[in-house]
């Protein structure tokens, strides 16, 4: 799907020697004092073309399938969107942003998921982060990129924001991660399963992000243009949340080029696991199998997915 604000005729991917190294070598490069216990059971078979599971504390790679191969990210791109906003120096979560018509037009033109933001409503940055992460609202993502980018037009501001996303990828040491859009609508928004897991680990260090992605639903009220109050309810598209014991997020994504994508995290006892599924056909079963492998449990087979309300977004 082509992005109507930020385009690229050529995507230049940053390269690094580490990207070509096998997982065994990558593990050897990690500090031994930071390594968690390696799972001892048989590694699961997953439907995804790319997958990774890492220890949340150390980042140690516990499972890899095409872990160093870049693939389209779909809306898991919004993890980086949120990270750039939240890592902004002096970010004011209570700052109000007025919804523009072009945010709604963007959703219609690109056929994306939406938070159904209404023109003229004034939502806080914190509310917009929830709107971008839970129902995967591209309108909310647009609002954030437009607010935190620089330039005289929305096109210039969103383009500069995407540049910030790529700069953040460089800062985090993610050489095979590239962004063309702020919301993942372009097949040029790519990362590897291993790098995406490291991005998720970084994002989870922020309390606002961690709290948001752990919510099954979020209610917000905002001043409307007519002087009344608008009430919003957004449901988390991540059905693994509330279905597998210990899951604390993180983000879904689906486009035709990307297939089913999922970034997930779970905590049991003193162990945190973070994983990624890229281009899968049964992402929740894949994620549950990987978590069982990491935790040494066998609950995936009996897992029942949380049902979404009929009016909830699917992503």
Structural element, H or E, at residue 65 = strand 61-65
- Rounded to an integer, what distance in angstroms lies between the CA atom of residue 286 and that of residue 276? 9
* Chain position carrying tokens 């040491």: 173
**Active-site residue identified among 136, 154, 159, 164:** 136
Clarify whether 136 is annotated catalytic: yes
Q: Taking the chain, what is the end-to-end CA distance rounded to the nearest angstrom?
A: 15
Give the closest residue to 221 by CA, choosing from 213, 212, 232. 232
> Which residue is catalytic, options 60, 78, 164, 251?
78
For residues 179 and 167, what is the distance between their CA atoms, to the nearest angstrom? 10
Pairing of strands 50-55, 96-98: unpaired
List C-alpha distances in Å: 157 to 149, 152, 177, 183, 294.
4, 7, 21, 14, 41
Q: Which of 60, 65, 75, 251 is catalytic?
A: 75
Respond yes or no: is residue 65 known to be catalytic: no
Which residues are designated catalytic? 75, 78, 136
């Amino acid at each position: 799907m082509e992005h109507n604000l930020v385009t690229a005729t050529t995507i230049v991917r940053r390269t690094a020697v580490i990207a070509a190294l096998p997982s065994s070598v990558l593990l050897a490069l990690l500090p031994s004092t930071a390594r968690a216990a390696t799972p001892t059971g048989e590694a699961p078979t997953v439907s995804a073309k790319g997958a990774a599971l890492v220890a949340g504390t150390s980042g140690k790679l516990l499972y890899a399938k095409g872990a160093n191969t870049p693939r389209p990210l779909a809306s898991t791109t919004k993890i980086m969107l949120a990270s750039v906003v939240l890592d902004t120096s002096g970010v004011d979560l209570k700052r109000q942003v007025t919804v523009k018509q072009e945010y709604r037009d963007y959703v219609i033109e690109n056929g994306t998921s939406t938070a159904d933001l209404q023109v003229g409503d004034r939502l806080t940055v914190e509310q917009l982060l929830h709107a971008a992460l839970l129902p995967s609202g591209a309108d909310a993502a647009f609002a954030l990129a437009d607010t935190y980018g620089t330039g005289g037009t929305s096109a210039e501001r969103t383009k500069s924001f995407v540049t910030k996303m790529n700069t953040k990828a460089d800062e985090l040491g993610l050489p095979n991660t590239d962004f063309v859009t702020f919301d993942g609508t372009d097949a040029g928004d790519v990362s590897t399963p291993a790098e995406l897991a490291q991005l998720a680990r970084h994002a989870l260090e922020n309390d606002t992000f961690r709290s948001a992605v752990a919510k099954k639903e979020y209610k917000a009220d905002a001043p409307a243009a007519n002087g009344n109050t608008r009430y919003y309810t957004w449901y988390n598209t991540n059905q693994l949340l509330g279905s597998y014991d210990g899951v604390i997020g993180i983000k879904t994504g689906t486009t035709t080029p990307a297939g089913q994508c999922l970034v997930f995290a779970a905590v049991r006892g003193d162990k945190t696991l973070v994983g990624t599924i890229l281009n899968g056909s049964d992402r929740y079963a894949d994620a549950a199998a990987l978590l069982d492998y990491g935790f040494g449990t066998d609950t995936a087979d009996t897992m029942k997915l949380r049902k979404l309300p009929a009016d909830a977004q699917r992503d």
